Each structure stands twice: as C-alpha cells, then as structure tokens.
Chains A and B, each alone.
Chain A
Amino acid sequence: MRWIWIDRFLEFESGKRAKAIKNVSLAEEHLHDHFPGFPVMPNSLITEGIAQTGGLLVGEFHAFEKKVVLAKLPKAVFHFPVVPGDTLTYETTIDYIKDDGAMVTATARVGDRLQAELEVVFAHLADDERSKSLFEPKNFVFTMKLLGVFDVGRGADGGRLTEPPGLLKLEQDLKAVR
C-alpha cells in the first residue's frame, strides 16, 4: 500500500508551482468512521495531500537529491467540511527555497470555494544512513509517473519537464536487476 493523498497533477512548473486534484469518494474506508453517519474528509489528510503536492515540487527542484520532510505548518486554516463527491484542488506555490529547506504557500478549493489556506515549511534531512532507509528513490519515480507529473510538467526553462537523470538511471538499474 502506498500513502498517496492526491489523484493527479494538473499543472507542474518546476521550482514555482503545482496544482493537483483529489477526488473524495465514499469508497474510501476512512470516511466510514469519520464520522459514523456523517462522512467528512479529515482536514489532516487534506494537509497531507497539500504537503505531497508541495513536497514533490520542492523535491523535483533539487532533482530529488535532497530528502524533503514536512517540518512545520506555520498556518493552517480550514473554512468548511469536505464531503464525498467533492473534488479538492490543491495549489502550492514555492515561496522560498534554499539549501536547508523550503516554504510553500497553499490553498485547497472545492470548485470556486476556498476551503483551506496553508503555509508549509519543508526541511532537507542530512544524507545519513537513517534517511536513506526512509527515502527510497524508486518510490519517487513511481509516484511522479503515477500522478502524471511528466505529462503536464514544465521545466524551469518553460520546456517539457523530464525525469531527472539520477532517477532515470536508477530506474534502468532497477529494471536490470529484475
């Protein structure tokens, strides 16, 4: 099982912004108990989806060579409950990015309605053994492809976004092993 809380990227501009959607369905088991008889998409999982949208944006900027972790939410405001049948649109913009981390501002909308406003701080973990075991690069290749980032992505030069060479090589190595 993979911990993925977005369905697809709609837009992806390297180093700048990304837009993704999440369809909320009553087929998702967590809605059966949250709450019994009154299904509501948990705001914590909306936060996770936003962090994934912004986290992949930050990771891609450094060609996935840094281990990006959610460090802090300086701001998280939610305006109304999200229910099955809603489609959430997450928009994340890089506010600031440097060697040791990044700050992203984000919104969630249902149609035209502003549902959430967040600020997310990401930190880059030191490249030690522990963080290596936490972050397997092959997961990024798989996730980025699955979510359609390379279908819609634009690189810093405005051209089509391509897979970072490091990931491409890794993918080839993995295939060779199989």
Chain B
Amino acid sequence: MPSQNEIFDKVRTVLTEALGVDEEEVTPEATLVGDLGAESIDFLDIVFRLEKAFDIKISRTDLFPEEVLTSAEYVQNGKVNAAGIVELKKRVPFVNLDKFATNPNVKDFGMVLSVQDMVRFVEMKNPK
C-alpha cells in the first residue's frame, strides 16, 4: 500500500487535472467545494480519476451520505441532530466533522470535504 504522502501526491494530481487548479492551491486543509471550486459534476470526474489512479472502486454514495442527510430521524429544521452526527461519523469516518458539528446545517455538508479527507478516504479503500 502506498504511503500517505504518495496518496496525497496522486490526489493532488487528480484534483489539479479535474478542477484546473494550481498544485499550490491543493493543500491538505483546502476544501473541494469552497476553496477549489468543485461543482457537483466535477465529482463524477474526480471519482473516475481516483478509481483509475488507485485501482479502487467508488460508488456514488461513498462520498455523500444522502440517506443520513435526508432522513427525518437525523435531520430537524435543516440541521443534523446529535444522533445524526454520530451516524455521519460511522458513515463517512474519513471526513473531519468537528467544524461542521458546531453548526450542522445540512446545506453546508457539501462544503465540508477537504483534500485531507479525500486522502483518508482513498487510504480506507486499500489502494494498490
């Protein structure tokens, strides 16, 4: 399995190619949507490139836990409740949810995913 640095380098290449951003912009802390300007269709492209670069399989719902974010059990008044945060941590353990949990508006979830989260995500997929 490649080291975290090797994974980061490949993830950075994927993001520069898919989003047309400079390498320097792709820092571990940068968020895909907020900082790097990713739009929904870009995730299709990013997933293609990650699968190819790491020889892994990614399903559409791997990155976006829609079933939690649209559940009446976990979401009230547009906010994810405490049980929902616990569920999200189980469902997307690679995402750092600390900041999101302070004001968990469902509509902000798409902004949370960072480059470091993507590296952890790939790591959990046991790339070759």
Contacts and interface: CB of A to CB of B under 8 A. Distances in A.
Contacts of B18: 74
A104 to B, nearest CB: 11
B41 A121 contact: yes
Interface in A89-119: 95-96, 98, 100-101, 103
B51 A96 contact: yes
Contact of A74 (B17, B51, B52, B60): B17
Interface residues of A, number: 12
B17 A101 contact: no
Interface in A44-100: 71-72, 74-75, 95-96, 98, 100
A149 interface: no
B51 A72 contact: no
Contacts of B41: 71-72, 121, 123
A121 B18 CA distance: 10
Contacts of A96: 48, 51-52
B44 A100 contact: yes
A160 B44 CA distance: 32
B6 interface: no
A74 B44 contact: no
Nearest to B39: A72
A1 to B, nearest CB: 29
Interface string B31-72: 000000000011011001001100000001000000000000
A95 B52 CA distance: 9
Interface of B: 17-18, 20, 41-42, 44-45, 48, 51-52, 60
9 contacts: A71-B44, A71-B45, A72-B41, A72-B45, A96-B51, A98-B48, A100-B44, A101-B48, A123-B41
